[in-house]
A = this chain, B = another copy of it.
Amino acid sequence: MRIKDIGEAELIERIRKLVTTHDDRVVVAIGDDAAVTIPIMGHFDVLTTDMLVEGVHFKFPLITPFQLGYKSIVVNVSDVAAMGGFPHFALVSLGLRSETSMNFVEQLYLGMMEAAGEYGLSIIGGDITRATRLTLSVFILGEVEIEMLCRRATAHVGDKILVTGCLGASAAGLQLLLHTELEKAVPKRKEKLKRAHLMPLARVKEARAAAMHGIHAMEDISDGLASEVTHICQESGVGARLYLEDIPIALGVKEVAKAAGMRLEDLALYGGEDYELVFTVPAHRSRDMAGRVFRETKTAVTLVGDIVREEEGIVLVGREGTISPLGAGYDHFKMAKSEREG
């Protein structure tokens, strides 16, 4: 059954049934001009949105509608986490082709609801319209305790740079999806790598643990570590040194890079979509911080660099001590289409 046979009203009614919420703080959900919720006293509101466009951010059948729905929530949750907060309410705007099947839309929402359940948030509204390419725009309202707020612009000279988990898995997974012949290079890791790209995790627990113990600056790694460190430096008016040999690389990424004829850095530093966290901590507390976050969350935390004075630039220190400028990450408008579609 296609949505043009059902019509807008019936489509909204079906979605409404799929996203039923039992959150006491929801006063008005789907079915009115706007959603209404009760704020928590003594918290800041955290607001974020991400737009995903077919052919730019994802391509069928490389990703299923369920996975896409799941991922569209996670990428926004990750932004709330990077502020030290937790997600609470989501609005979802969908641009759909008239020919889209109801089953497709249901799978999309089931994926969203799966992620919503994992991160404790409710989908309470949105908008549906016609489009020529599937377009998802997810908005999340979260909260953060005033003392837990983490920013990008607050790195200090002398801080250590830390990252959670391992990098490169999502970019390697994308390569496997785009070029299936690469799979034979990583027979045992291929499913994990593809999953890292299709259904990433958001590091809410880890971000909360880090925020609780006091960090200086934090960001999630959506556009690649190089890009995120550059953002922190630009906003904080500092420089940075990243040590290539300290970057934690996910298992199998090296093999994929080799088979694909790419540099390891292309996947681990510039690939993006790992949704790990990068944060800075005063050097004297950095090892203690890494240990605490690991003990509380079982997620590894690795020291990968130093915040230095702005004049020293933003550089990558290679394995033999060579120093080169850290390039930028993905640019939606400057890079060619084929470089990222998946």
Contact = CB atoms under 8 A, between A and B. Distances in A.
A237 interface: no
Contact of A34 (B4, B32, B80, B235): B80
A101 interface: no
B152 A33 contact: yes
Interface string A135-151: 10101011010000101
Contact of A137 (B33, B83, B89, B93): B93
Nearest to A4: B333
Given A332-B8, A333-B98, A124 B31 contact: no
A120 B153 CA distance: 27
Interface magnitude class on chain A: 35 or more
Contacts of A11: 333
A132 B27 contact: no
Copies of the chain in the assembly? 2
A299 interface: no
A31 B153 contact: yes
B56 A44 contact: no
A85 to B, nearest CB: 8
A78 B235 CA distance: 35
A51 B137 CA distance: 8
A50 B34 CA distance: 10
A129 B332 contact: yes
Contacts of A52: 129
Interface string A66-97: 00000000000011101101000101011110
A212 interface: no
A5 to B, nearest CB: 8
B93 A49 contact: yes
Interface stretch (A35-43, A108-116, A304-312): A35-43
Contact of A128 (B124, B131, B332): B332
A261 interface: no
